[in-house]
C-alpha cells in the first residue's frame, strides 16, 4: 500500500549512476556490474544503478519514482509520463507495488511494453502536460482522470480524494470537482467517462488519508451503508475529536489507524510514541463514554477487500442495496463483482 505524501520527500536525492556516463569519460562501465554483483549497487534499469544501501532503505512507493527517473534518462526522446508514473511524481497515493513505467505516445502502435515502459497511444493535442521534478508529466487533473478511467475504482477514489484537498507537503493547491469535470473533455470514451463520473460522485474533500479513502471505496463496492465523515464528538469536558467514520443510527464509530501518528515527528509533536498511544486510548475511552461503539482497522485489514467486508459486517455496519452503477466499474479475475449482473 501507499505511504503518506511526505514520504516522497527526497526522491531527487538518491543518485542515479549511469554506465553511459562512465563510457563517455573512457572508463570501463563493466565495473558497475561487478559492484552490483558485490551488492554495493542495485541495477534498477539497464545501464542505471543506485547505491544498494540507499535503495534498500526506501519503501516501494519511494523506489517507484526512481524507476521513472531511470527511464527518463535512458529513453532517446523527450517523454511524457502518465497514469501511475505521473501520479508518483505528483505524490498522488498509489495502491499496490508499481513496476511498469507509463508513458504517452502518438504512435498508433501504443499500448506495447518495452524495457519496462508501457506506452499509451493518445492524441497529444488533447493532453495537458506539465513539468514535475524536471520531467514531463500529465497534469494533476489529467493524471487523476486517467487513474479513474483506466485503473481500479478504489484507486480512482484514493487519487481524487487526495487532490480535492491541499497537499501542504508538496505545496500544491486543492483541485475541485468542476476542474476535474472540465478536464474530461474529448479525451475519454463513453465507458471511461462513466467510470470517471462514478469516482467523482464518491470523492470527497474531507478524507483524512489514503487509507480512509480506500476504506470508503471498499465500503461502497461491498454495499455497506455510507458513513458520515469527520463528525465532531464532544463530552462534558469539551471537544473529544473528530471521527473518521460514523454510523449514527447504529451508534458506531470507525477509525482507520495508519500508524503514522506513532512514528513520524510531524505527528508526534514532541511526544514519544508511547505518549501518543496513551492519548489515543484516552480519546477512545471518551468516545465510548458517549455511548458509541468504536471499531479500528489498519492497512493490514485493507489488504483483502473481502476480509475487510467480513470485518465490517461482524462489527455491525449495515448493508444497503448493492449500487447498480458498480456493474460498470470493476471486474476481478474476469468475474463481475458480487451483486453485479
pLDDT digits (tens, 9 = 90+) for 150-175: 999 999 999 999 999 999 999 999 99
Q: How far is residue 31's CA from residue 336's CA, in Å, rounded to a whole number?
A: 52
- The residues, any chain, with a CB within 8 Å of residue 223's CB and separated by 6 or more, are 319, 320, 321, 322, 323, 338, 339
Neighbour-count burial for 147-174, b at 16+ CB within 10 Å, e otherwise? bbbbbbbbbbbbbbbbbbeebeeeebee
- Our CA angle for 52, 54, 58, nearest 5°, is 110
Q: How far is residue 138's CA from residue 299's CA, in Å, rounded to a whole number?
A: 29
Split at pLDDT 50, 70, 90, the class of 336 is very low
Q: How far is residue 298's CA from residue 246's CA, in Å, rounded to a whole number?
A: 17
Q: Would you state the cell numbers that stand for residue 4, as one nine-digit string? A: 503518506
Q: How far is residue 151's CA from residue 164's CA, in Å, rounded to a whole number?
A: 19
Split at pLDDT 50, 70, 90, the class of 12 is low
Q: Would you state the cell numbers that stand for residue 145, as one nine-digit string? A: 482522470
Q: How far is residue 27's CA from residue 325's CA, in Å, rounded to a whole number?
A: 60
Say what the pLDDT of residue 280 is.
Answer: 84
pLDDT digits (tens, 9 = 90+) for 248-264: 999 999 999 975 544 45
For residue 334, the number of C-alpha atoms closer than 13 Å in the C-beta half-sphere is: 0
Say what the pLDDT of residue 107 is.
Answer: 73
Domain regions of the chain by residue span: 5-207, 215-336
Q: Would you state the cell numbers that stand for residue 313, as one nine-digit string? A: 459486517
DSSP assignment, residue 90? T
Q: How far is residue 315's CA from residue 233's CA, in Å, rounded to a whole number?
A: 20
Task: Tell me the pLDDT of the chain averaged across its residues.
Answer: 86
Q: Which CA distances in Å does 298 have to 153, 215, 295, 304?
A: 20, 10, 11, 12
Class of domain 215-336: alpha beta
Split at pLDDT 50, 70, 90, the class of 335 is very low
Q: Which CA distances in Å does 21 have to 26, 27, 65, 318?
A: 9, 9, 21, 61
Split at pLDDT 50, 70, 90, the class of 338 is very low
- The residues, any chain, with a CB within 8 Å of residue 265's CB and separated by 6 or more, are none
Split at pLDDT 50, 70, 90, the class of 331 is very low
Q: How many residues does the chain have?
A: 341
Q: Which helix (H) or strand (E) holds 312?
A: helix 305-315
Split at pLDDT 50, 70, 90, the class of 327 is very low
- The mean-pLDDT minimum among 7-11, 169-173, 206-210 falls in 7-11
Amino acid at each position: 500500500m501507499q505511504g503518506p505524501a511526505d514520504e516522497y520527500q527526497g526522491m531527487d536525492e538518491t543518485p542515479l549512476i549511469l554506465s553511459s556516463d562512465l563510457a563517455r569519460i573512457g572508463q570501463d562501465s563493466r565495473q558497475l556490474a561487478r559492484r552490483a554483483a558485490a551488492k554495493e549497487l542495485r541495477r534498477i534499469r539497464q545501464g542505471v544503478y543506485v547505491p544498494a544501501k540507499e535503495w534498500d532503505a526506501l519503501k516501494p512507493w519511494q523506489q517507484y519514482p526512481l524507476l521513472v527517473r531511470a527511464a527518463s534518462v535512458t529513453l532517446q526522446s523527450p517523454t511524457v509520463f502518465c497514469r501511475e508514473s505521473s501520479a508518483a511524481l505528483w505524490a498522488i497515493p498509489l495502491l499496490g507495488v508499481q513496476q511498469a513505467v507509463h508513458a504517452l505516445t502518438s504512435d498508433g502502435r501504443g499500448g506495447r511494453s518495452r524495457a519496462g515502459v508501457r506506452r499509451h497511444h493518445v492524441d497529444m493535442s488533447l493532453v495537458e502536460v506539465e513539468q514535475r521534478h524536471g520531467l514531463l508529466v500529465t497534469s494533476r487533473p489529467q493524471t487523476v482522470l486517467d487513474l479513474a478511467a483506466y485503473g481500479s475504482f478504489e484507486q480512482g477514489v484514493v487519487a481524487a480524494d487526495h487532490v480535492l484537498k491541499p497537499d501542504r507537503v508538496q505545496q500544491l493547491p486543492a483541485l475541485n470537482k468542476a476542474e476535474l469535470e472540465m478536464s474530461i473533455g474529448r479525451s475519454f470514451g463513453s465507458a471511461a467517462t462513466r467510470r470517471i463520473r462514478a469516482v467523482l460522485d464518491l470523492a470527497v474533500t474531507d478524507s483524512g488519508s489514503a487509507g480512509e479513502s480506500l476504506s470508503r471505496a471498499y465500503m461502497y463496492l461491498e454495499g455497506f451503508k455510507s458513513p458520515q465523515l469527520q463528525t465532531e464528538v464532544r463530552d462534558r469536558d469539551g471537544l473529544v475529536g473528530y471521527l473518521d467514520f460514523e454510523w449514527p443510527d447504529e451508534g458506531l464509530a470507525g477509525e482507520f489507524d495508519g500508524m503514522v501518528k506513532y512514528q513520524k515527528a510531524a505527528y508526534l509533536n514532541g511526544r514519544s510514541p508511547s505518549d501518543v498511544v496513551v492519548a489515543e486510548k484516552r480519546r477512545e475511552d471518551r468516545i465510548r463514554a458517549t455511548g458509541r461503539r468504536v471499531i479500528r482497522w489498519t492497512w493490514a485489514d485493507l489488504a483483502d477487500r473481502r476480509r475487510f467486508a467480513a470485518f465490517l459486517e461482524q462489527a455491525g455496519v449495515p448493508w444497503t442495496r448493492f449500487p447498480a452503477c458498480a456493474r460498470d466499474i470493476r471486474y476481478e479475475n474476469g468475474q463481475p463483482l458480487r451483486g453485479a449482473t
